[in-house]
Amino acid sequence: PGLSYTWIFNNTTLDLQEDRRRFVSQATGNLYLAKVEPWDVGNYTCTVSSAQARRQVWGPPTALTLRGDGVMGEYEPKIEVRFPETTYAARGSSVRLECFALGK
C-alpha cells in the first residue's frame, strides 16, 4: 500500500490517460503494451514512489527494439515486477524494489 508506479519513455513520463494501447498496473507495476508500433521503440524506465516515505526510486532503462523477422520464440516480450506481498524495513534502512522487462 502507498506505492505508485510510473513508466518513463525516452526521458518523458508516459501519459496513459488517453492511451488505449498501454497500461500500468498499480498493483504490480507491470507495463503492458498492445500492438507494438515502430514509435514504441526506445528506452523504458520504471519508477516506484511512496508518498508516505517521500521517496522515489528509478530502475535502470530497458531498451525496446523491434525484430525484423517477426519471430519471438524464447524472446517473447515479458514485463515483470517481483515484489513480495509484504516488505518490512526498519526506519532509516534501504529497500530495493526492482522491476524489469524481458524481450526483443
**Cell representation of residue 61:** 532503462
* Beta-bridge partner residues of 1: none
Nearest C-alpha neighbor of 25 from the set 50, 4, 10, 1: 4
pLDDT truncated to tens, each residue of the chain (104 aa)?
Answer: 578 888 899 999 888 776 778 888 877 788 888 778 888 889 999 888 887 778 888 888 888 887 776 655 555 556 565 556 677 777 777 776 666 655 54
Largest CA distance in the chain: 51
Residue-wise pLDDT for 31-59, tens only, equals 888 778 888 889 999 888 887 778 888 88
3-class SS shares of the chain: helix, strand, coil, % to 5:
5, 40, 55
**Cell representation of residue 6:** 510510473
Domains and CATH numbers, the chain: 3-102 (2.60.40.10)
Cβ proximity of 69 and 45 under 8 Å: no
Nearest C-alpha neighbor of 95 from the set 103, 86, 104: 86
**Cell representation of residue 100:** 524489469
Q: How far apart are CA 48 and CA 3, in angstroms?
A: 7
